[in-house]
Amino acid sequence: MRAKVIVTPKAAVLDPQGAAVRDAIRQLGMRDVKSVRIGKYLEIELSADGGETKIRLEQLCRDLLSNPVIEDYQLITE
């Protein structure tokens, strides 16, 4: 199984990095860019499969890969 995890800062959390990149994009002439949020992307390769692995991955996302206080995550398995 392969898993992809996308971690993004929660809406209520300031993302100064994203704001700096947004400003840079505007300076490059793309004035209609409204916001940029910067997160993390992880690719995980597993030798296991099935529902239980997916449950464990979900738990991993909550416990280690993201901090629920400041981040949301999206888990995609294939």
Partner 1 sequence: MKFAVIQFPGSNCDQDCLRAINSLPGLRAEYVWHKENSLSGFDAVVLPGGFAYGDYLRCGAIARFSPIMSEVVRAANDGRLVLGTCNGFQVLCEAGLLPGALVRNRALRFVCEMTRLRVEVEDSAFTRGCARGSILRLPIAHGEGCYFADQKTLRELNGNNQVILRYCDETGAATPESNPNGSVENIAGICNRAGNVFGLMPHPDRAFDGRLGSCDGAKIFLSMAETITAGERRVAA
Q: Which residues bind partner 1 (CB under 8 A)?
A: 9, 12-14, 16-17, 20, 40, 64-65, 67, 69-70
**What is each CA distance from 4 to 16, 29, 35, 37, in whole angstroms?**
25, 33, 24, 18
Shortest CB 49 distance to partner 1, Å: 25
Shortest CB 71 distance to partner 1, Å: 8
Give the nearer residue to partner 1 in terms of CB position, either 27 or 50: 27
β-pairing, 40-45 vs 71-77, is unpaired
